[in-house]
Amino acid sequence: MSSGRVLKSEWTKIRSVASTVWTLGLAVVVTVGLGLLISILAKNDFDNLDARDRSVFDPTAISFAGMGLGQLAMIVFGVLVVSNEYSTGMIRTSLAAVPQRGAFLFSKITVATALALVVAMVTSFISFFVGQAAMGEHRAALGDPGVLRAVLGGGLYMTLIAVFSMGVAAMLRSPMLSLGILMPFFFLVSSILGNVSATKKIGQFLPDQAGQKIMQVVGPLDDDTPYGPWGGLAIMVAWVAVAVLGGYVLLKRRDA
């Protein structure tokens, strides 16, 4: 089967599964909605901040506060895109139609990544503009130094979360097992490692914590992170590449 037909086939699969479409819609609603709420609270609390807190007030990052929860939907999307065929048994039919396993996997990831990127970028820009509108006189402008980079970075971050999840799902094959590992990792393990002094330096190099650096415009006063916004994104890309490569290697070596 030609590469164009494989890509078209993967697009049809994604579009025809309602759960994958709904998860992307949920990512938009949750990210924008929570970001709006936090932005309103931040504006109302600004007058209560001391001089130190005002100096590191980052309206851009605040408008992205919903991404912490919105990435949950992107994780589910990434897992479902890859593991749905395993859970239904359709993987055998798919591999029979596309025996080149590398072409099969990377076509699936390419189509899903393109879709995730569009949704993530739209979500990031809407979150920014809605959040800044809610912050009134404390808002940031898209043309301010570092702001456009942070907004574009927000879209890239959400996309990379989805691709990382695809790689993990390709390795584990089971949607329940994949979600059972990814959810605690991003919402519990990473948070603990990043906030405990003994493990903080390890936590800084986890994919989510490194990737989130791209969305910061004003860093904390005591920030000792050994990399900048683009360095953090590069670390996240490396994690994603390892996950996808692991999925590819295991798909090539084992039975469907």
Domain edges within the chain? 3-253
Instruction: Please check the confidence at residue 245 and state whether its pLDDT lies above 70.
Output: yes
Query: pLDDT tens digits, residue range 186-197?
Result: 988 888 888 888
Q: Distance (Å, rounded) from C-alpha 129 to C-alpha 132?
A: 5
Write down the pLDDT at residue 52.
84
- The angle subtended at Cα 90 by Cα 86 and Cα 91, nearest 5°, is 60
Write down the pLDDT at residue 1.
57
| pLDDT (mean) for 211-240 | 91
Q: Give the number of other CB atoms < 10 A from CB of residue 252.
A: 11
Instruction: Please check the confidence at residue 33 and state whether its pLDDT lies above 90.
Output: yes
**Surface-to-core class of residue 211, CB atoms within 10 Å of its CB (0-12 exposed, 13-18 middle, 19+ buried):** buried
Q: What is the band of 117 on the pLDDT scale with cuts at 50, 70, 90?
A: very high
Instruction: Please check the confidence at residue 3 and state whether its pLDDT lies above 80.
Output: no
The sign of the CA dihedral 15, 19, 25, 28 is negative
Query: pLDDT tens digits, residue range 41-74?
Result: 999 998 888 888 888 899 999 999 999 899 999 9
Write down the pLDDT at residue 256.
56
Cα 78 to chain centroid distance, Å, stands at 9
